[in-house]
Structures are given as structure tokens and as C-alpha cells.
Amino acid sequence: MRDDTYLTWLSRETKTAWWHDSADPAELQQGLERGCVGVTTNPFLTSVAVGKNRERWAQDIAVVLTQSLQPEAKAEALMRIAVTRAAEMLTARFETSRGRDGFVCAQVNPLRAGDRDGMLELARRFHAWAPNIAVKLPVTAAGLDVLEECIAAGITVTATVSFTVPQVIAIAERHRRGIERAGRNGVAPGKCFAVIMAGRLDDYLREIALDNREPVRETDLQQAGLAVAKRAYAIFRERRYESVLLVAALRGPHHLTELAGAELVVSVAPPYQELFVTRQFPREERIAHAISPDVIDRLCAMTEFVRAYEPDGMAPHEFVTFGPTQRTLAQFAECGWKQLESVR
């Protein structure tokens, strides 16, 4: 690997960190060599990793398959194999950073997005897998309740299936409440990573724009998730939230380069890593560069963008009905969790 890549510059010269977006060990090793400080997984990524590593993990997978587990328990056991292997690879980073970096995500069953008791039980189990697990919870009303409980109990959380300013504000507020509860009980609170799936918001708005013939340009739509991320970052700085923003679902290099210099995390999948290590991008901190007001004005003609962009655009009980939430939960369930349940 060249030692003068954009990813190297980002890691060494700015406050912007990046996580590796894959559970495959060979890909993760390359991500570590490129400077990642954490790992994003989800049911789809863990299903892919299990499929690609059947031979490497044959003994552990065989143990799971011979236990006659119920489908959900089998999916969890298979996910544990992929997640804990990744956690082992990040242990050194976790220890040398004294728990600041080195986290690996483990996502609860997406079919339980409204099940508080079920998600909390899963979170407690996942937390026990390794010291550097960040339990992934969906940002629904139920998920926010579980998030607060986890933080108060010292469990680190990545709050995902999140696309909007009101969602990440809700995450940060519930994280803060969890911290206060932990303090009253003498518990070290869990950390919290607040996700914005920027590219998934862009995808959703693009479909709406086409269907409704909205007066927006493709170049506007490509900046929608970025506009949300920049506004959220400004609010987090102003309110001094303890949560760390984590921008995911990249759809182009701009989702990273336009955030450079921000004190946040960007999740980068291997294909985009290749772009950042083989192509040159301006090495400039661009977090303070605002999205053009004309772009924002055109996007604000779309009701769904306003819901995503305005701090009071949605209430927590509406998060589960937001289009990208339902689409993402369905993908994680059908293309991830259920695939793990069906492994033979």
C-alpha cells in the first residue's frame, strides 16, 4: 500500500476517523493495513462473510449446525463467529487506544425493531461476546428505549437504520440520559455512535423525485445525505453531545471528502477504499464548506427531505414509518438475518 494515500492523510492529519465496512477477515486485514480503527457489520455483511469463509470457519460452523437450534438462535450463533473473529483482529487497537477505538458492530435481529425486551436481551448477550463489541440497535422508538438502557448499563451502542437529523438528535439525547443514569449508579456508561446512512437517504429521495416529478437535479439529490450529515454535525458541536456521528452507506467519494476534518467516523466499504488508495483527491478539510443554499432550497420542495433535514422534522414514533427505515430493515432481514437462519 502506498503510504501517501488519501486515507493515510485523513487518518494522520485530520480528526476524521474511518471504519472498515465488511466482516470478511481478508478484507478486514487490508482495511487495518489502510488505517481503519473500527468495523461495521450488519446481518447482510455477516451473512456474506459466513458464506465466503465456510472452509476457514468450518469447525465452528459445524458446531452451530449440529445443535438443532431454532432459526433465530442459529442466525445469532453464526453471526457471532464472524463478529468475534473481527473483534479479535481489533483487540490491539481497542487496548492501545484505551477503549476509544477498535469497536466491532453486532446488530440485533432486524425483525425485532419494535421489540424492546427482545432487543435488550440480544444486546446483553452480544455485549458479553468481547470487550470491544458495539451493539447495533435500530433508531425506532423501541430502539431508543433500549439504547438508553444499554448506555446506563455500560454497553456501547451503534445506533443504526438512521438517516436524519431528528434521529441522530434523539440518539444523542437518549445517550446523554443513559450517561446520567449510569453516573447515578456508579457505572461507566457505554459509548454511542450515531449513524447517518447518507447514501440510503439519497437513494430514497431519488425515487420520490422521479415518481413525483420533483423539480430537483441529480446533483442536488447526491448532496441530500451530505446536507443532513453537515447539519447534524453542526448541531452536535453546538450542543456538545457525547455521541459520535458515524456516516455510512457511501454512494460516492464526496460522502467522505466533503466531511474531511470533522470529528466523526465514516464507514468505508472495500470498493471505496480502493478509490481512496488508487486515486488522488484534494487533501482539504471541507467540513466547514456549506451545501449551496440553492441546493437546499430545491431539496426542501420535497416533504421527505424536510422531514430528514429539520431537527423537528419527525417525532420518534414516526421513525419506524420513514421510508428508508422500512427499506433497510427489510433488506437486513431478507438478505441478511434470514439467510443466516437458512444456512445448512
Q: Hey, where are the domains in the chain? A: 6-341
| pLDDT digit string, tens, across residues 49-99 | 999 999 999 999 999 999 999 999 999 999 999 999 999 999 999 999 999
DSSP structural state of residue 131? T
If you compute the radius of gyration of the chain from its CA atoms, what whole number of angstroms results? 19
For CA atoms 127, 247, 19, 249, the dihedral sign is positive
pLDDT of 3 higher than 80: no
Record the cell numbers describing residue 254, joined without a space. Answer: 464526496
pLDDT of 1 higher than 60: no
- Which helix or strand (DSSP H or E) is residue 102 part of? none
pTM of the predicted model, to two decimals?
A: 0.97
Confidence of residue 255 (pLDDT cuts 50, 70, 90): very high
CATH superfamily for domain 6-341: Aldolase class I (3.20.20.70)
Q: pLDDT over 90 for what percent of the chain? A: 99
Instruction: Output the CA–CA distances (angstroms, integers) from residue 279 to 248, 274, 283, in the order listed.
Output: 21, 8, 12
Record the cell numbers describing residue 86, joined without a space. Answer: 473481527
Record the cell numbers describing residue 130, joined without a space. Answer: 468481547
pLDDT at site 297: 97
Confidence of residue 274 (pLDDT cuts 50, 70, 90): very high
| pLDDT digit string, tens, across residues 186-233 | 999 999 999 999 999 999 999 999 999 999 999 999 999 999 999 999
